[in-house]
Amino acid sequence: MAGVVAETKAHIYFINSEEPSQLNELQEFRSRYGIPTVPGFVHIADGQIKVRCDSSMSAQEIKEFAGL
């Protein structure tokens, strides 16, 4: 992920899925957007939301998924 950010200068936001004070909000977020597992990538563009949960994604796959 760090390499993708360095190369593309994309804005990537990380949600700490182990923060005890936010577990309820995280569960609600995951339910709302259909994120079954972590890590999960959520990409939002032009009002469209895409989710992919695959920790084996290569840098190229991440860039393609996010349209970078």
Query: How many whole angstroms separate alpha carbon 17 and alpha carbon 63?
Result: 23
Q: Give me the half-sphere count of Cα atoms (radius 13 Å) on the Cβ side of residue 65.
A: 19
66 has pLDDT over 90: no
Q: State the pLDDT at residue 7.
A: 92
Domain of 18? 2-66
pTM comes to: 0.68
Q: Given this model, what pLDDT does residue 36 score? A: 86
Q: What digits encode the pLDDT tens for the residues 15-50?
A: 888 889 999 999 998 899 888 888 888 888 898 999
The total number of structural domains that make up the chain = 1
